[in-house]
Amino acid sequence: MNLENAASLVARIDYVESTGSTNTDLAEAAVLSVADYPDLSVLCAGTQTQGRGRSGRVWQSTAGESLSLSILVRPKNVSLEHYGWLPILAGLAMARFVASILPSAEVGFKWPNDVLVDSKKISGVLSELVGDGTGVVIGVGLNLAQSAEELPIEAATSLRLEGATVSFEAAVTGFLTEFRSLYDSFVNHRGDADASELRRSATAMCLSIGRRVRVMLPGDQTLEGKAIELDASGRLLIAVDGEHQLYAVAAGDIVHLRHN
Ligand code: BTN
């Protein structure tokens, strides 16, 4: 595996053929050897045996056909209140990369960070605060070359199914190029998503805005309404049916309902 190009974009990059979960490994290493794992340390894997998705779901990373990558960030001078933007930033970076590969498809992200190609999921992000609170591990999975039978759900796709052949190395470099540019601007503006233009850029690629959505709340509760905009913290503001005030969703899953 030649990750020379990608290595120039980050502080450290490691590759393993197979592991349980790159998020778990990197989060552990980040706490055990703080000095060896600075801001922008990356771990990627050819396959994961215990890949984890959001909300406790399993994430499948087929050997030789998928990208599993985690980035440790330790954003300097960014207060915790702005950390909600980090997973969105990663989803936006991946959406930009995928859009550059598939220029004729509709590519964007479903809030907060599922990347969709013509409404099918191609990539997901799992972001976790490391144990001692000194950083965040942002894990991204990308379907590179799976066939429809190899994907876990019908509403998923891969770059190959969309007609593009992209190597593991090219995907790592392409994604990290987008990530690095967004992240540098975000950190240089101390996490201010307006000053760094992150809110504007994310809004432009967020497929949820203007859509009718169902929000899954903790405790099996749901609410429905129209997604209006991202607020300054990256929360999705929903005009809930029958209510006057906007409801801010900070975490969790949404479902896109029929087009309105
Ligand atoms: C989701 O869509 O539910 C999020 C999927 C995140 C998967 C990535 S693959 C690399 C990293 N390691 C993990 O165990 N999960 C993330």
Query: Which atom belonging to ligand 1 lies closest to the Cα atom of 48?
Result: 14
Residues in a beta bridge with 223: 215
Instruction: Please tell me the pTM assigned to this model.
Output: 0.95
Atom of ligand 1 nearest to the CA of 141: 9
| 70 C-beta closer than 6 A to ligand 1 | yes
Tell the residue nearest (CA) to atom 3 of ligand 1.
53
* Cβ(59) – ligand 1 distance below 6 Å: yes
Ligand 1 mean position, distance from CA 141 (Å): 5
Which residue's alpha carbon is at the smallest distance from atom 11 of ligand 1? 139
What per-residue confidence (pLDDT) applies to 208?
97
Nearest atom (ligand 1) to Cα of 55: 3
**Ligand 1 centroid – CA 86 distance (Å):** 15
- Block mean pLDDT (10 aa), the chain, length 260: 95 98 97 96 97 92 95 95 95 98 97 96 96 92 96 93 97 98 98 96 97 89 94 95 92 83
Identify the H or E element spanning 43.
strand 41-48
Ligand 1 pocket, residue 127 CB under 6 Å: no
CA atoms within 13 A on the CB side of 189: 16
Hey, which of 18, 48, 65 would you mutate to test ligand 1's pocket, going by the most ligand atoms within 8 Å of its Cβ? 48
Distance 124 CA to ligand 1 centre (A): 6
Which pLDDT score is estimated for 220?
82
- Which residue, chain included where needed, has tokens 């992000």? 125
Reported in sequence order, the residue ranges of 53-102 that DSSP labels E, i.e. its strands, are: 66-73
Atom of ligand 1 nearest to the CA of 51: 14
Which of 43, 126, 253 is the pocket-test mutation for ligand 1 (most atoms within 8 Å of CB)? 126
What letter would DSSP give residue 146?
A: -
The pLDDT value recorded for residue 260 is: 57
User: Are 164 and 101 in contact, with CB atoms under 8 Å apart?
Assistant: yes
What pLDDT score was predicted for residue 133? 83
159 CA → ligand 1 middle, Å: 17
Q: Which 3 state secondary structure label does DSSP give 10?
A: coil
Q: Which pLDDT belongs to residue 253?
A: 87
- What's the 125 CA to ligand 1 centre distance in angstroms? 5
Residue 202 three-state SS: helix
Structure tokens of 179? 């990530």
